[in-house]
A and B are shown apart, each in its own frame.
Chain A
Amino acid sequence: MGASLTSPEINEKSTPLLVERYLPIPRRDSGEFWTESRIQHIRHLATTGKPMMVWDRCKSETNRILDRLFFCKELEDASLGDRGWEVPDEISVSTSICYGGLELSHPLYLGDMSFGALSGVPNVAIARAADITGTLAGIGEGGLHPEVGKCRRIAVQWASARFGLDLDVLRKGMAVVIKIGQGAKPGIGGHLPGVKVVEIISQTRRIPVGVDAISPAPHHDIYSIEDLEQRILALKEATGRPVLVKVAATNYIPYIASGVARMGADGIIIDGQGAGTGAAPSVVRDNVGIPIELAVAAADEMLRREELRDGFTIIAAGRVSSAEDAAKLTALGADVASIGTAALIAMGCIMIHKCHLGFCPAVITNKITDNPKKVLSLDTATRWVVNLIGGWSAELKLILERLGLKSVKELRGRRDLLVGVGLSDSSLRILGVRGVSGKN
């Protein structure tokens, strides 16, 4: 099974070793957002499909602005002692949402990881998991992997290089994503060296084997908001599908969001600083862009003020690590949370930050060859992602239940449910959340 997936022309030369187990989590010697307990939590969800906690205990380990935002209810629960952690047997809250004509049974988007950044099996696992769970998977820029192309709940990406795109491919998904930027490297292009353009990459990108694949930094047909409108309308004209625009969270995100809404897009995917990447110049990854929580709050605020919020979808991406993260982003104004890195962790990523070297111990981002020695088990990987979504959704329901809400839709924009602890006055103002000083 695995071999046929890495190469559509079944190669019988060797049977690769199937990877079906998690690796031990290595010890860390420097700062990391994806701490051991976050990885353990995701592994619990991915293996059991069951919730592990109501309130995210991992947030005390890191210092994101989101980590210092609490649902007031949690603080009340904490004062109640252990009773706050009781999980009721029956929960009747809804996590389904609908946007741009798309129904999602969970407010999750599986974010835009390309074939090339991932090594094939993970791409297929994510797409199949989206079909099984009724969510949506963005396929990224590497063209359409033949097995991914068999899945229904995918969003085909139109990026600056237009790899592997034609009219038929664009019409294959349920939506089209115009990728303008990504959180890990706003304003930076990509370059896959010719030696890595092997047969299967060549087929999906429709470029010859051995020729470098370059993604220009900007879209050279989109230099203005009017140009973007032109592209949105052209893609709608060509496909009849809803169009989402993916951007990085940067200085002008509220204006960009309102521009995107005004230009007729069905939604925006905002990718925050700190989001995952297969490879990015460190200097850009570490110094460009703003965190998703500020971006979502600012964009939502502007869209409301401009009366553009209704019927427009905000998908929040970048370091979304738990149902509570997603719930807080929803309370700040998002409709859907995007999970990328969390899905990789569910498939066995141990966060050693070596994707760009082509050697991945978890065989998720390893170098793509036509004859791999070791591949991730597709069935296992798919199950892990499906379980992650199930467990995640269950935790989200628990949170909604604690908040006394009937559905995730009721949570959107409920900043009043949040409180900031030890945040600067400027952050609190952007978030539109009241604050208390000090922590613990």
Chain B
Amino acid sequence: MSIWRRDIVSNLRLLAGVEGKTAGEPPIASMGATNPPLIEEPMFILDHIVSDGAQVTRPSIDPYREPIETEVYLFGGKLRFTMPIIIGGLTGVYPQHIDAVILAGFRLGVGVHLEKLLRLQLGTEVRGHVLLEVSEDGLQSPQNGPLVLRIEGVGELARVRRVLKSLAHSTQLVARIPSTANSLFYQEIVKSGFQTVIIDEDLGGVEPLEVSLSEADHMLKRLTINGFPARYLMGLIAASNRIRSSSDIFKLGGLGADACIIREAWRIGVDYKPEMPAHLLSERIENLLIGMQREIKLLMGAAGVSSYQSSIVGSRELFRAIDLPYHVCEKLGVKPAGE
């Protein structure tokens, strides 16, 4: 079965304005849900996780009439994204579209992850919002904006640490690593001075993203930088092709991700085609992001939460697992429903 169930694809396209007439608006449905794990077949751990609805002792919040904050900060508060979404997976995107995607992200205050330096003609201001992947050599030349170093194995870390120690300038450093819960990885990353970690399932790894993310979040909370829990000085980002929707992003947030990199989801949502006009692509990306932000606000409001980074990120108590075995629940730190 494809992970891109028909209703998932349709929701993304309704948001982006490819289908329907209410671009940017969370799609409406009627009668009983058919979502996994109880009706549709569950494919991932995420499919077993549900979010809280506030009632009686906590009022829910109406995101259309009252403020709800979706912004997240990275790099100690120096970089502000308006929502916990980063656009990635630009590798297959035509060069003439890259600028349009980056600019759409910039306007909405959303980050973009570039896996390699492409023909980038954008000014330094826009560069500040781009997580740019560089080689170890590329680290040497000072750049505006965060630099991402891909680290695929524990073995590379000692060398990387030496390189970073030798850097003459200060940079916003990001490590992109496979989906792993290996504590050595995180110890080294903290010691090396990375300020943000991207756990990227598409780089491989033995654990599902949900498990490695949650365990990384907890490990970083136990590790310290100058006596202070490292996690509160660092950013944690989840990336995978299979992050399908705002609800996936929201649940990964609950497991510890400050933000998520979406790849195939946005390309499916905007119905990406090489020949599409840049302005259409740009408009659809805007619609999709605004729509996903509204969906996240609906989920937050339903849970009686008004501030994403402080109340959702790592806040496992707001979530419950449906029919997951205890040993998985424990790894995630999420209680079974009914407890």
Contacts and interface: CB of A to CB of B under 8 A. Distances in A.
A417 interface: no
B159 to A, nearest CB: 43
Contacts of B117: none
A256 B55 contact: yes
Contacts of B180: none
Contacts of B250: 287
Contacts of A279: 28-30
A188 B298 contact: yes
A274 interface: yes
B60 A63 contact: no
Given A31-B39, A283-B298, A189 B62 contact: yes
Interface residues on B, range: 35 or more
Nearest to A286: B35
A319 B32 contact: yes
Given A62-B39, A282-B26, A289-B50, A186 B298 contact: no
Interface string A323-336: 00000000000000
A295 interface: yes
Contacts of A223: 58-59
Contacts of B35: 274, 285-287
Contact of A253 (B7, B60, B326, B338): B338
Contacts of A426: 321, 323-326, 329, 336, 339
Contacts of A228: 56
Contacts of A219: 59
B135 to A, nearest CB: 39
A100 to B, nearest CB: 19
Contacts of A218: 54-55, 59-62
Contacts of B30: 276-280, 353-356, 365
Interface string B230-261: 00000000000000011100110000000000
A107 B138 CA distance: 72
A180 B56 contact: yes
Given A276-B31, A423-B323, A430-B336, A248 B39 contact: no
B52 A283 contact: no
A65 to B, nearest CB: 6
Contact of A285 (B5, B29, B40): B29
Interface string A188-231: 11000000000000000000000000001111101111001000
A156 B235 CA distance: 51
B172 interface: no
Given A218-B60, A298-B339, 9 more contacts: A186-B60, A187-B55, A277-B30, A283-B245, A285-B33, A287-B35, A341-B32, A351-B31, A423-B323
Interface of B: 5-7, 11, 26-35, 37-41, 50-62, 245-247, 250-251, 295, 298-299, 301-304, 317-326, 329, 335-339
Interface of A: 29-34, 62-65, 180-181, 184-189, 216-220, 222-225, 228, 245, 247-248, 250-256, 259-260, 273-291, 294-295, 297-298, 318-319, 341, 351, 353-356, 365, 423-427, 429-430
Closest 5 CB pairs of A and B: A186-B53, A187-B60, A187-B302, A218-B59, A426-B336
